[in-house]
Homo-oligomer: A and B are copies of this chain.
Amino acid sequence: MQQIRKAACIGAGVIGAGWVARLLYNGIDVAVCDPDPQARRKVEAVCANADRAMKRLTTAPALDPGSLTITRTINDAVQDSGLVVEAVPERLDIKRSVYAKIEAAASSDTLIASSTSGILPSELQADMRHPHRLLVAHPFNPVYLLPLVELVGGKETSPDTIERAREFYTSIGMRPLHIKKEIEAFVADRFLEAVWREALWLVKDGIASTEEIDDAIRFGFGLRWAQMGLFETYRIAGGEAGMEHFLEQFGPCLKWPWTKLMDVPELDDELVALIAGQSDAQSGKYSIRDLERIRDDNLVAIIRALKETGWGAGKTLGDYERKLLESGTARSREHGISSLPLTLERLVPGDLESPMAEAFCLQCFADAREVFLRDSGVGQENGSLAGHFAAAETRIRHVEEISAAESVSVTTHLVSVNSEAVRLFHRLERQQGGLLATCEHLLVHVDAATGATSQPAPHVLDKLNAIAKTHARHSRPHAADQPEG
């Protein structure tokens, strides 16, 4: 597939702006067209959130971010774009008129991806000149963090369009799910809509408040659904007898009056006021901006936790990071030949208790070491090597207390190299200045085959010696920086 270097986004609401943030982060230039005079400010606010979240999510080297332009017309936006994202209101007439304007300016093989939550792609593409390149690519808020994107083709959509889209969305860290038959609301939103309708009844009938409903979700099955879905969860519930047993056991419930669905309450002023009032009581103590950050921090923590277990959205993150690492276009983190390499930038999590602060520190140093080895071409990712470097000793000195939510960075000094060991010295500093902690790593080389300590290959030593030579221009770590002998 030809790489997409420029995209257009028509419509910059919550979903459009979320797409823009994800595209820019992946090094793609984006032109945005939205009639709102505040469009730039709003998009930039979402991008700031995304940047904050991505710094917490991953240590993989970020690409050079794409550039953002705001255009007056759709025509200006779609020029030279390999992808046009449509994120305008959910009205078929509006969407069709937007496609007409897009087609007037875009080349015939430009992908056109609608963010619609439920309108059939066959209806969207009905009046198009080149309908084969239209598909639905339905994301989930926040678009810059949640991996799922549902891909749905219409009657005229070509298989090649689906395939190009699948490759593209994977390349920007997403988990495309191709829905093979088109139906209204596709798959995920059918579930959301079912739950939403049921929830409206529960509030209207005074069974539960908005807060109680949220608690019924997030303290129970919501935790399960962050990692396994409905069927895998129920397969386990069936126990050793498995899925058939589960179906036999729970089949009869289908006859019971356990939902109110399809029968939908009128969303009249009274119900709207009831819901809005309960929601204020529940969440009104936070601004929307606060809630966004709480949500993002929680999602980052959950996805990182799943990366540790190698499962679901965490596995998607791991695959994406490997791709970034392999990418030849990854921005060098070298600050110029005269500086020590900046091996890490990170935000300290909020709500940091003392033993957590210490673990955060060590994680920074361990990650910085991996980044340094990787960027030096001798890390574990550099596949052909006959072994890897592992820490034999780690000495951390805490200089100042780390505060929650501050920005920190690590520089790494390659102090010495010989056939026995490699000695690194890291400094963790506030980005606004101020040494927080130092770490000395004594690394030994471990043979891939035997798992025993071994000598690194000569070309590995050569590479490291060359780096040590440039680092020698910097003063060796001060005695004050070093742990007492």
Contact = CB atoms under 8 A, between A and B. Distances in A.
B259 A197 contact: yes
A229 B283 CA distance: 12
B392 A367 contact: no
Interface in A255-280: 256-264, 267, 272, 275-276, 278-280
A90 to B, nearest CB: 8
Q: Report the interface size class on chain A.
A: 35 or more
A331 interface: no
Contacts of A483: 393, 395
A229 B258 contact: no
Most buried by B among A214, A217, A263, A303: A217
A81 interface: no
A130 interface: no
A51 interface: no
B218 A228 contact: yes
Contacts of A180: 206-208
A146 B219 contact: yes
B230 A217 contact: yes
Contacts of A248: 272
Contacts of A369: 355
Interface in A194-228: 194-200, 202, 205-208, 210-228
B393 A275 contact: no
Nearest to A222: B225
Of A192, A229, A394, which is in contact with the most chain B CB atoms at under 10 Å from its CB? A229
A216 B194 contact: no
A4 interface: no
A438 to B, nearest CB: 10
A118 interface: yes
Given A223-B313, A394-B396, 19 more contacts: A117-B253, A118-B253, A150-B216, A183-B205, A184-B256, A187-B202, A188-B220, A194-B194, A194-B197, A231-B275, A235-B288, A236-B295, A238-B288, A243-B276, A247-B272, A309-B350, A362-B394, A391-B396, A393-B483
Interface of A: 13-14, 90, 117-118, 140-141, 146-148, 150, 175, 177, 179-181, 183-185, 187-200, 202, 205-208, 210-233, 235-240, 242-244, 247-248, 251, 253-254, 256-264, 267, 272, 275-276, 278-280, 282-283, 288, 291-292, 294-295, 297-299, 301-306, 308-313, 316, 349-351, 354-356, 358-359, 362-363, 366-367, 369-370, 380, 388, 390-398, 401, 451, 483-485
